[in-house]
Amino acid sequence: MIQAKTDSPSRRSWFGGLLGPVKLGCFAAFLVALAAIAVPNYYRSTAQILPVETRSMGGGGAGGLGNLATAAAAMGLGIPSMDSADANFVDIVKSRRVREKILDTRFKFKTRSWMFGAPVEHDETLAEFFHARNPDAGVARVGALMTTARDLKSRMMTVAAETTSPELSQAIVRASLEQLEAFLQEKGRTRGGAKALFAEARLADARKELAGAEVEFGNFVTRNRGYSTSMDPVVRLEGLRLEAEFRLRQQLVMTLAVNHEQALMEEKNDIPLLNVLDPPDLPVTKSRPSRLAWVIMAFLFVTIGAWFYVNRTWLKERFIEEDPGPSGPPS
């Protein structure tokens, strides 16, 4: 006669003490799964910008550091350049000016209020989309959506935006790059334009002075045609002085004209170009939330917590009091 195999009391105690917490953990995981469905998906768009080539300061390499920079590069180390044109790109993108421009830019995008919600089309500015009560709140929301960083070794800059709309994330990153480039062009033209304007004004003054010297020298020559061979030393010296003044003014006008042309060239060449390695992508896969991780963590936390609560008396006797108590937790 075959007898049925029965579990030991210890095994039944362990199983009975674990079944309730597992059921509670499953119920908690189910509730978290339902709540996670109500959370919309977030999509992250990223762009990468190459470093701007720095101008040599003599001695070659990385701002004039010469062989030291070359040796550091061979060892895989980076030395920040003192004249790096892209050193403040991160600060420019994070500036209030750029964020206000992005906040007032009109975008076309679609959003979902929850995981399986119907897409809603938008054609509005971020200020309207956020329902910002004031500009400060809108700027803060834009800053919370964007992430800007720069690698100190490679000097590669990364700009990213994460929203509930793939189109909006891509549009925000693209708008930030456009505002960065516009700022660089404006400041570069302002700096180079100031040099060109100064050179142009000085050239105009020099031409007026040259015209005056030319008239004065011409009138003198008309009155004293042979001044260079005149027997009167006063006439001869006055003629030589006016002639030297006229030649000096001519040379000054030529020099200023060359400087003016050089300033115009620098106005165009002094603007750092934005070298975009990876343009902002249109994300297809969500970046968050990780719903499966939420469900698993809820199940584990509730199950373990409930098991400790159900077996708190046995745990106290087993680990705190001297009497070890039974071999397993109570059922």
| H or E stretch at 106 | strand 106-111
Q: 217 — alpha (psi -120 to 50), left (phi > 0) or beta?
A: alpha
**Pairwise CA distance, residues 11 & 123, whole Å:** 64
Give me the DSSP letters along 265-313.
HHHHHTSPP--EEEPPP---S--B--HHHHHHHHHHHHHHHHHHHHTHH
Q: Treating both helix axes as pointing N-terminal to C-terminal, what angle do 291-310 and 9-37 enclose, rounded to 10 degrees?
A: 140
Residues pairing with 109 in the sheet = 122
DSSP 8-state assignment for residue 62: G
Residues pairing with 124 in the sheet = 107
- Mean pLDDT per block of 10 residues along the chain (331 residues) reads 45 60 88 88 90 50 46 49 65 88 89 82 87 86 89 86 91 90 74 73 87 86 80 82 88 87 70 76 87 91 88 76 54 53
Q: Which pLDDT score is estimated for 270?
A: 56
Q: Which pLDDT score is estimated for 326?
A: 54
Cβ–Cβ < 8 Å for 50, 156: yes
Note the residue count of the chain.
331
Q: Which pLDDT score is estimated for 330?
A: 55
Q: Treating both helix axes as pointing N-terminal to C-terminal, what angle do 166-223 and 233-269 enclose, rounded to 10 degrees?
A: 170
**38-55 b/e (C-beta count within 10 Å ≥ 16 → b):** eebbbbbbbbbbbbbebe
Give me the DSSP letters along 170-230.
HHHHHHHHHHHHHHHHHHHHHHHHHHHHHHHHHHHHHHHHHHHHHHHHHHHHHH-TTGGG-
Exposure of 165 by Cβ count < 10 A (0-12 exposed, 13-18 middle, 19+ buried)? buried
Around Cβ 37, how many Cβ atoms within 10 Å?
13
**Torsions phi, psi for 112 (to 5 deg):** -120, 135
Q: Which pLDDT score is estimated for 223?
A: 85
- Using CA atoms, how far residue 108 sits from 124, 168, 172, 258, 286, in Å, is 7, 7, 11, 50, 19
- Using CA atoms, how far residue 83 sits from 69, 79, 87, 108, 127, in Å, is 14, 12, 8, 39, 37
Cβ–Cβ < 8 Å for 162, 145: yes
For residue 289, whether the previous peptide bond is cis, meaning omega lies within 30 degrees of 0, is yes
Q: Is 118 helix (H, G, I), strand (E, B) or coil?
A: coil
**Pairwise CA distance, residues 131 & 126, whole Å:** 8
- Using CA atoms, how far residue 139 sits from 107, 147, 173, 290, in Å, is 16, 14, 15, 28
